[in-house]
Structure 1
Amino acid sequence: MSWWEDIAIGTRRELGSYTFTQDEIIRFAQKYDPQIFHLDPETAEETMFGGLIASGWHTAAIWMKLAIADREKSKAAGNPLQRAGVSPGFEDLKWLKPVRPGMTLTYSNEVIEKVALKSRPDMGIVKSRNEARDENGTVVFSFIGKGFVQRRPKEN
């Protein structure tokens, strides 16, 4: 496992791609975000979106799914994983463009900052820019994630 000190700013990972289907968009919305433009294709045509769109929370949930799958794939390949802990939250969440049935998004993660913690000298925070891009390369979803990562123990 890699320590906070081993993580390089600028490290970028492609997490994978996902195609949103009409049925999945509707099922997710029925359970978690029952707004009409996520539920009913015909009625959604009359909204400001002009048709059915995925919930922003659905696009975020797919990011999480792909991030975990990428971590497991990296672990299976024998690559060192971050000594990561929980996340204290995120910043600057943006849903920039509607995600429609049939769209394929490609998700990525890039380390943009590392913060040493005075209150927890055994931990640091890694900030990463997370994005989903459509088939044309346009960013449709983004946020800055933060995660605690263990620091290398100081030698006595």
Structure 2
Amino acid sequence: MLYLDDLEPGMKRAFGRYAVTREEVLDFARRYDPQPFHLSDEAAAQTHFGRLAASGWHTCSMTMSMLVAEMAVHPQASLGAAGIDELRWLKPVHPGDVLRCETEILEVRPSQSKPGMGSIRNKMTVFNQNDEPVLSFIALALMRRRPEA
């Protein structure tokens, strides 16, 4: 189990693999972001996307899926998150892309009011199969501190 006390600024991790499918892009768009360029090749061709593009919110969801899968392999004393700053969709994600994540811890802060927990700020960057960044954000995650022996 990885606790807040095990982390320090500058630590980096690379993880995840997510193959983006056309069916999933269309299903997510129909349910949550039904804009024409997420639903139709023809409509997308008339935009800067050039072809069918995943919703940015779908890209965030795929990122979360990779993050949770990583936490199952390398357990963390996670208490959820307090928010996200500087969310940027840097490049369109298309069916056929394969995504992966890199994260870097920017700050580790034990809580002053709740001694059993603290927070970390980390920068998440998601890349496609060409190592092009497609998404970035700074997450404020909450974690338990290591229990005293």
TM-score normalised by length of structure 2: 0.89
More strand by share: 2
| 1:93-112 superposed Cα distances (whole Å, 9 cap, x missing partner) | 00011111212221222222
Point out where structure 1 has 5 or more consecutive residues left out of the alignment: 75-80
Supply the AA of the counterpart residue of 1:143.
F
2:34 & 2:77 partners in 1: Cα distance? 37
Q: Which residue matches 2:69?
A: 69
User: Following TM superposition, by how much is the alpha carbon of 1:16 offset from its aligned partner in structure 2, in angstroms?
Assistant: 1.1
Point out where structure 2 has 5 or more consecutive residues left out of the alignment: none
Cα pair distance change 1:17/1:154, threshold 3 Å: closer
- Are 2:56 and 1:90 equivalent residues in the alignment? no
Count of matched residue pairs: 149
Identify which range, 91-100 or 146-155, moves more after superposition.
146-155
2:102 to 108, 115, 124: 108
The higher radius of gyration belongs to 1
RMSD: 1.8
2:72 & 2:77 partners in 1: Cα distance? 14
Supply the AA of the counterpart residue of 1:18.
Y
TM-score normalised by length of structure 1: 0.85
User: Following TM superposition, by how much is the alpha carbon of 1:153 offset from its aligned partner in structure 2, in angstroms?
Assistant: 5.5
| 1:92-146 superposed Cα distances (whole Å, 9 cap, x missing partner) | 1000111112122212222221123223233210111111112222211011111
Question: Moved runs in structure 1, 4+ residues, more than 3 A?
Answer: 152-155
- Are 2:2 and 1:6 equivalent residues in the alignment? no
Q: Which residue matches 2:19?
A: 19
- Are 2:117 and 1:123 equivalent residues in the alignment? yes
1:136 to 113, 119, 130: 130
2:77 & 2:137 partners in 1: Cα distance? 22
Identify which range, 85-94 or 145-154, moves more after superposition.
145-154
